[in-house]
């Protein structure tokens, strides 16, 4: 695997060693085994809660938040190092709706009361959040949403539906884009609202993906009353909030390390014994594997260059950079999962039910290496769709290049 060294100061090098010692102690073999069986994009509820608690106790649950709100207050370099080391170690990929999405939105746009009520509980993990953006007719074209909220005294009354809502089955709260006006452009009549999941009229229905995972859901709102104090930002100005949030969803800065960990799991499959282990001696497979390694190295180099520019104060991450990053990570991850399936050979054709979904121990005739690749491959078909489809990202880049 190609390794690129990031130039670090003595202080940052010491911080990296501190993170490595923490992970060596806290990311136990038991946690590692459970994490490697995860096939969804994010760790399941119990595993996510356990790892979040470990990070919270260390003060590292919200590395991107300012210290005044309980965040770690990391510099850009420290945040990159922390994310990089966690990804290299293969720690659970925590759901992003609370700490990475809703938290920064409240810090940027929330009232003082909203910050006081919600931020401590997001930080501690007491409140698990989910994201109410997409609808059956409004996915990548988010401005087409129809879920509406009508003002009634001190409340909004919400009616409508959201779909592909990740981990809604675990959440206590959902942040929702709702239509509060039909005047002017579509984006002008959208608001950002915080809704408790136990409010009367909220219904969650599971959507089982073709990988066998219950990761996403439908959420229905039937005359749900929400206090107007739960409005974030100004009424009808939710599009501004939504765009701010999407930048945090699309840009991570540590995609190369995340992909390297996935590549490491692939190499474990390749190295495993078994009658169908033909990948290691197949020149065509080796060529595809080398292409992936080169692409990851190129992505890592671009991340290092961006970090250097940020450290020099020359630039900050924006729409275009976030789109480029998401496109690269999505493309490479799908390539890795395709190699995973090819590496297990004929076992990819066997319907092992929960075994292939990583929910049970392998049977006598199915080796451990064949437990998760098919489910992982199927689940990652969605990586080029969620968070803004690849087509949307290319449109953003095209408009930027053409100045339109």
In tens, the pLDDT along 328-349 reads 889 999 999 999 888 887 777 6
Determine which of 120-124, 240-244, 290-294, 321-325 has the lowest per-residue pLDDT on average: 321-325
pLDDT at position 226 over 60:
yes
Q: Is 264 in contact with 317 (CB distance < 8 Å)?
A: no
- Helix axis angle for 319-343 and 283-311, nearest 10°, is 160
**What's the CA gap between 276 and 262, in Å, rounded?**
21
Give which of 234, 212, 144, 215 is closest to 371, Cα–Cα.
212
Contacts 24+ apart (CB under 8 A), 68-77: 69/103, 69/107, 69/115, 69/119, 69/123, 70/119, 70/120, 70/123, 71/123, 76/307, 76/310, 76/311, 77/8, 77/12, 77/307, 77/311
Identify the pLDDT of residue 392: 78
Mark out the alpha helices in 196-254 (DSSP H runs). 238-250
Q: Is 161 in contact with 136 (CB distance < 8 Å)?
A: yes
pLDDT at position 54 over 90:
yes
Q: What are phi and psi of 267, to 5 degrees?
A: -65, -30
Distances (CA, A) of 361 to 46, 92, 353: 19, 20, 11
Give which of 270, 268, 381, 255 is closest to 37, Cα–Cα.
268
User: Cβ atoms within 10 A of the Cβ of 361, count?
Assistant: 10
249 catalytic per annotation? yes
**pTM of the complete model:** 0.83
User: Which residue among 34, 85, 213, 249 is the active-site one?
Assistant: 249
Task: Give the mean model confidence (pLDDT) for residues 295-304.
Answer: 86
Q: Is 83 in contact with 253 (CB distance < 8 Å)?
A: yes
Question: Tokens for 47?
Answer: 């595993």
Identify the pLDDT of residue 142: 81
Identify the pLDDT of residue 69: 96
Mark out the alpha helices in 90-181 (DSSP H runs). 103-109, 112-124
Identify the pLDDT of residue 398: 85
For the chain, the average pLDDT equals 86
Residue with tokens 């539906």: 161
């Amino acid at each position: 695997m190609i390794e690129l060294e990031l130039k670090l100061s003595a202080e940052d090098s010491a911080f990296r060693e501190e993170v490595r010692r923490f992970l060596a102690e806290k990311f136990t073999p038991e946690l590692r085994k459970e994490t490697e069986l995860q096939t969804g994009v994010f760790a399941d509820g119990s595993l996510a809660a356990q790892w979040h608690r470990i990070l919270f106790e260390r003060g590292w649950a919200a590395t991107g938040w300012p210290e005044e709100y309980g965040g770690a207050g990391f510099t850009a370099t420290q945040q990159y190092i922390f994310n990089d080391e966690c990804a290299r170690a293969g720690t659970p990929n925590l759901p992003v709706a609370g700490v990475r999405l809703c938290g920064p939105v409240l810090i940027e746009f929330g009232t003082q009361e909203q910050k006081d009520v919600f931020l401590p509980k997001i930080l501690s993990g007491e409140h698990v959040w989910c994201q109410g953006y997409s609808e059956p007719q409004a996915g990548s074209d988010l401005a087409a949403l129809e879920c509406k909220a009508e003002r009634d005294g001190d409340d909004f009354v919400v009616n409508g539906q959201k779909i592909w809502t990740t981990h809604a089955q675990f959440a206590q709260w959902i942040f929702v884009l709702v239509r509060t006006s039909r005047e002017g452009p579509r984006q002008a009549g959208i608001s950002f609202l915080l809704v408790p999941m136990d409010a009367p009229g909220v219904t969650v229905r599971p959507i089982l993906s073709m990988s066998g995972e219950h990761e996403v859901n439908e959420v229905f709102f039937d005359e749900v009353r929400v206090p107007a104090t739960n409005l974030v930002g100004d009424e009808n100005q939710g599009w501004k909030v939504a765009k701010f949030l999407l930048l945090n969803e699309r840009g991570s800065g540590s995609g190369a390390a995340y992909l390297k960990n996935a590549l490491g799991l692939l190499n474990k499959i390749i190295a495993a014994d078994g009658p169908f282990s033909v990948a290691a001696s197949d020149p065509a497979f080796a060529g595809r594997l080398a292409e992936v390694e080169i692409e990851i190295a190129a992505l890592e180099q671009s991340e290092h260059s961006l970090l250097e520019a940020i450290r020099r104060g020359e630039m900050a991450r924006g729409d275009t950079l976030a789109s480029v990053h998401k496109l690269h990570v999505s493309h490479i991850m799908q390539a890795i999962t395709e190699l995973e399936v090819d590496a297990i050979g004929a076992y990819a054709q066997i319907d092992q039910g929960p075994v292939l979904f990583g929910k049970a121990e392998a049977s006598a005739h199915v080796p451990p290496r064949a437990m998760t690749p098919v489910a992982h491959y199927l689940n990652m078909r969605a990586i080029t769709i969620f968070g803004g489809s690849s087509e949307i990202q290319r449109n953003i880049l095209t408009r930027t290049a053409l100045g339109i």
